[in-house]
Structures are given as C-alpha cells and as structure tokens.
Structure 1
C-alpha cells in the first residue's frame, strides 16, 4: 500500500505539465477567436466599411501629408482626395458595369460556344452548352406560377441596395475622418499605454500602416500594368471586347492570384469564342507572360519588397476572406494579413528575439 501511495503522489512528467499548460492557453485562444468570429459575422457591414475606409485613407495619406506640410488645411486636402477617389472608383465601376451590360450577349455567346465544343469533345454536358434562350423556364415561357411580382420579391433587392448605400456612405465618411483626425486618434490611443509598451505599440502601428498603404498603392500600379498590357495585346490580336476585358482585369487584380486568374480565363474564353483555339492559345500565353512580369518585376519594384507575405499566405488569406465575407473579404484579408504580419515582425525585431528556426 505504501508503494502505491508513493506512486500516486509522484509528480507528473515535465512534458505533460507543459503540454497541459499550452493546451489550456490554446483552448482559451480558440474560444476567444470563435467568439470574435461570431461577433464579426453580425457586424460585417460595419467592419467592412471601417476596413475599406482605412485602405482608402492609406492610399491618400501621403498626398494629404504632403499638402499639410505646405500649409493646406488638412480638411481641404482630405476632402479633395476622398472626392477624387470617389469619382475615380465610382466612375470605373459604373463604366465597367455599363460596358458589361451592353456586351453581355456577346460574352454569353462566347461562353456557350466554348462550353458546347468542350461538351462535344469530352462527351459530357457542361453549363452554358445549351443555346436555348428561355433560361429553363419551360416551353410556354411562363417561368413561374404567376406573372405578378410580390412584395417579398422587391424587398430583398431593396434591402441590399440600402445596405450598399449605407456601407458606401460609412466608408467615405470614415476615410475622411481617418485622414483629418487620424493623427489625433492615434495619439489618443497611444496615451493608454506607457513606457516600453507605448513605444512598441507606436512602432508596430506605424509599420502596419506603412505596409497597408504601400500594398494598396503598389497593387494599383500592378493592376494598371496588367490591364494596359493585356488590353493592348488583345487589341493587337483582334479579340473583341478588348477594352471591357482590360477593365475587368484591372478590377479583378485587386483580388490577388484568384482575381487575375479569373479575368485571364474570361479573356481566353472570349478569344476562343471569336477566333477559335489558336486565338485562345495566344491570349493564354499573353495573359501568363504579362501577369508573371507584373508579379515578378513590377510588384517588387513598386512595393520595394515591403509585402511580408509569400504566395501560399496570400492564397490562404484570399480564400479565407472569400469564404467569410465574400468579395469584400477576398479584397480585404490580404492587406490586413500583410499589416498584421508587419506589426508582429516589428515587435519581434524590437525586442531582439531570435528567429524561430535557423541562424
């Protein structure tokens, strides 16, 4: 009995104690992340407006600071930059939407032509292979049990339009406030800390802000390069809808990796529908070459290697953002991940911590 009691009183192995401690912390962290994710899902509209406002402020901040140093009132330069961004983004979106709406039948025909050829070649039925124009509504064209429109049919689009209008207003207002009152907000936030912690928070925040602005500005230059180069190549190859495809390439490039790939695939499909396999191959080569030059030459030169992310992290961030918040998440998660990584690295370096592995 004495031997058994001594065995029960023996201390647990050190590795088990450490594992239990780490497991408990990870469990608490997982619960916290789960709660925050649930909260973020309930206030998605507000979070997206705040984050997009930060991105726009990061883009316009250098010009506002430049004007501030030359005596221009901050609210004047901030208002001018926000108005310029609003006109540029709104005009680009409306122009692209109008062109796509006008040329949608031609795009649809290109997709149907390629899908029909692949269906006959592979022996399987693919979407868009049918040229039927009734949309599957039935031979009588009724498409439903009644031709009337209920209040519920109108409520959904109206609610979506209202949410988009609110989100747009919040984004513009927040971007203006960040540009005008951002320095004061940051100093107020830093006032909640003291000593070394205050210095660390200040350095990390500035590193994240610099990375955020550099990323958005650099991505804009890369997107513009891809759009101009691919659009010019499509014009030389005689592909229809070249300007529309170039504008689509520009906008889609703001979703890293996936967006550029989808826009390039649309260009290949249109080329196939208009000029056959040879034209599609030439467009595919054009898209791959231009995007590789943009990623490997233009992007490092513009961003000056300030994006602390590799291709795998970018792809995971885009996918996670798309799954959580749709297109808005795919747009936002990469710059936010880059900013968070820059902040963590700055804090890590300031404390002189050694790397996790290697020399």
Structure 2
C-alpha cells in the first residue's frame, strides 16, 4: 500500500534569504551574460559604433552654434553645413601647422630623446619608446621594406580616412535632420513608453552636450596655459605638446596625466633635469587650476557620475576600444545615467544614490 504524499505543511520551507538570494543571483547572472554578449558585439563592430558616437559628440559641440544661426534666419542645412565646415577648416589648419612644425623639430628632438633614453636605461633600467630610426636603413637586413610592412599602416590610414569622412557626414546629418530623426524614432513607440523615451533621450542629449562643451573649455584652458608656459621655458614642440594636452584632456583622469608626462619627458630630453622640473611644476599648477576652479564652474551639474564611475568607464572603454573607448565611454555612461535618472524620477522613484 502506497504511503500518502506528504502535505505542504510537512515539507521543509525554503529560507527566505535563500529564495531572495537565488532570485537576485539569477537576475545578475542573466545580466552578466547579456553584458558579455553586448561587449563582444561592440568589439566586432568597433569602427561603425565609434564613428556614430564621435559624430554625436561633434554634433553636441556644434548644436548651440547651429541653433543660434537657425534662430536668426539661416536655413538649417546652411547652418549645419557651415558649422561642420568651420570645424573641419580649423582642425585642418591646425594639423597642417603642427605637421610642418613637427617635421622641422623632430630630427633634433629624436637625437636628444635617444640620448636620454640610453641614459635612463643605464641608470635606472627604464626603457622609453623609440621615436624611430634616425639613420637611413642601416638595419641588419639591408633596410628593405616588404609589402607586409606597408599593409598594416596603409590599412590603418584607410580606416582613419573613412572614419573621418563618416564622422563629418553623420555630424552634418545629425545637426541638419536631428529633430526629424528623433520624431521618426519616437514614432516607433506609443503611450507612456514614448513619453519615457522622449524624456530620457532629451536628458541624455542635454547632459552629453553640456559635458562635451564644458570639457572643451577645460581642455582649452589646460592647453593654452601649458603651451604658453612651454614657449616661455623654451621647450621644443611646445605647440604640439599643447595640442596633445588639448586632445588628451577629453580622456578624463588619465589623458591629462599622460600628456603632462610626455611634456616632462620632452623637456628632460631637450634641456635636462632643471627644465623638466620647471615643466613638471607648470603642468601641476595649470592642471590643478583647471580641476579646482575652471572645471567645477563649467561642468556644474553636467556630469552625473562620481569619480569612481568615471575611472571604471575610462578603463572599460580603453580595454574594449582602446583610445576611442577611453574617450567615448564616459559621455556614453553619463548619457545612460541621465536618461535612467529622468525615467526613474518620472515614475516617482528616487534616483540611485551617487548618480
């Protein structure tokens, strides 16, 4: 005769903490798998994603100029095209001027740099990266160049040219047809979800645009201050180092430090320890002024991220996409955070602490 099945009362109850932990753990596991798949997909489509994101950042920088021109009667296509052409012209002129200056000073700087590198290697065992060979093919293999040696740089140059063209074209399209593109996208949603997407998207766009424009002001301050100081000290390639400082400042926390270190190394290579010490003091003073006075004023309420989140975003972006990732992941994280915060507030929820 079969024994009766135990009733629900006689079954051992699962502890509440175990049930809660299992539910949370399962959700976290699913989230981790989704993030892993998303990261793998992002790595495989790095070029188009980076191109689109950089174009959005450029559009965020130029949007106030386009709106100002359009508000004063200029057709939107003309305002967008003029802003993009102005940016391309300025960047092209700067690159040509810096290229000519680098070409004139690089041979002397290469010799000084190699001498300093040899000195540091003998004294402290520190190996600095090479600036290239100053000789004309004196290698052991006869100085020949194979097709494989040229294929890699040629491919990289081609990708850069394609990416630059796409950035310019997409930035124009975003500036010219941005409102129409946004209305088309909102048309794919309905009801409360459409309102949430609209509010979250506008919050993200406002945050990214303000962040990039504020960061540009900080970068200009650092570049001008350090560039003028380098010219007064007499460091070669001062304008080039100032431009490097400007570009590197778009990578939070790490970029400015690396650019300042490069300036100190160049100063040491060209003028010795005293010059390097002067440049080190200059870099520290200018960057501290920028971080303590300029950045709090221009970046006020524009970056809803704490310092730890910024550092993690820079690290993750650098691991996935290199320099482009370190540049883009902070504004991308800020955009997602601002959108999520806006939606949470709209639904009557308190924002997550620290965001």
TM-score for the superposition, normalised by structure 2 = 0.88
Task: State the number of aligned residues.
Answer: 352
Counterpart selection for 2:311 from 296, 311, 315: 315
What per-residue deviation string (whole Å, max 9, x for no partner) do you get for residues 52-100 of structure 1?
Answer: 1111111111121222222211111111111111222233334334433
Tell me if the contact between 2:111 and 2:134 (Cα under 8 Å) persists in the aligned partners.
no
Structure 2 stretches lacking a partner, 5+ long: none
Counterpart selection for 2:194 from 177, 192, 198: 198
Other-structure match for 1:180 = 176
Q: Larger deviation: 158-167 or 324-333?
A: 158-167
Tell me if the contact between 1:116 and 1:128 (Cα under 8 Å) persists in the aligned partners.
no
| Residue 116 of structure 2 is aligned to residue 102 of structure 1 | no
Map 1:110-189; keep pairs closer than 5 Å. 110-122=112-124, 124=125, 126-127=127-128, 141-144=138-141, 148-189=144-185
The alpha carbon displacement at 1:134 in A equals 6.1
SS across alignment from 2:170: helix
Other-structure match for 1:217 = 213
* Distance in 2 (alpha carbons) for counterparts of 1:313 and 1:260: 18
Other-structure match for 2:263 = 267
Tell me if the contact between 1:112 and 1:128 (Cα under 8 Å) persists in the aligned partners.
no
Q: Larger deviation: 271-280 or 55-64?
A: 271-280
SS across alignment from 1:9: coil
The alpha carbon displacement at 1:162 in A equals 2.3
The alpha carbon displacement at 1:357 in A equals 5.9
Counterpart selection for 1:11 from 3, 10, 13: 13
What per-residue deviation string (whole Å, max 9, x for no partner) do you get for residues 225-278 of structure 1?
Answer: 111111111222233332222222122222222221111112112222333222
Map 1:66-85; keep pairs closer than 5 Å. 66-85=68-87
Structure 1 stretches lacking a partner, 5+ long: none
Closer, same or farther: CA 208–301 of 1 in aligned 2, 3 Å? same
Tell me if the contact between 1:111 and 1:128 (Cα under 8 Å) persists in the aligned partners.
no
Q: Larger deviation: 10-19 or 111-120?
A: 111-120
Closer, same or farther: CA 35–193 of 1 in aligned 2, 3 Å? same
SS across alignment from 1:67: helix
Other-structure match for 1:351 = 347
| Residue 288 of structure 2 is aligned to residue 292 of structure 1 | yes
Tell me if the contact between 2:199 and 2:342 (Cα under 8 Å) persists in the aligned partners.
yes
What per-residue deviation string (whole Å, max 9, x for no partner) do you get for residues 280-326 of structure 1?
Answer: 22211110110011112112212233111222222222222121111
Closer, same or farther: CA 215–355 of 1 in aligned 2, 3 Å? closer
Closer, same or farther: CA 354–304 of 1 in aligned 2, 3 Å? closer
The alpha carbon displacement at 1:211 in A equals 1.1
* Distance in 2 (alpha carbons) for counterparts of 1:267 and 1:289: 14
Other-structure match for 1:335 = 331
Closer, same or farther: CA 231–198 of 1 in aligned 2, 3 Å? same
The alpha carbon displacement at 1:148 in A equals 4.7
* Distance in 2 (alpha carbons) for counterparts of 1:288 and 1:106: 27
* Distance in 2 (alpha carbons) for counterparts of 1:264 and 1:150: 37
TM-score for the superposition, normalised by structure 1 = 0.88
SS across alignment from 1:308: coil
The alpha carbon displacement at 1:120 in A equals 4.3
The alpha carbon displacement at 1:335 in A equals 1.3
* Distance in 2 (alpha carbons) for counterparts of 1:94 and 1:337: 34
The alpha carbon displacement at 1:355 in A equals 5.1
The alpha carbon displacement at 1:19 in A equals 1.7
What per-residue deviation string (whole Å, max 9, x for no partner) do you get for residues 172-228 of structure 1?
Answer: 111111111111111122222333322222121111101111111111111111111
What per-residue deviation string (whole Å, max 9, x for no partner) do you get for residues 130-181 of structure 1?
Answer: x99669x8xxx3433x655444333333322222222122111111111111
Counterpart selection for 1:28 from 22, 26, 30: 30
Aligned residues: CA RMSD: 2.9
The alpha carbon displacement at 1:5 in A equals 5.4
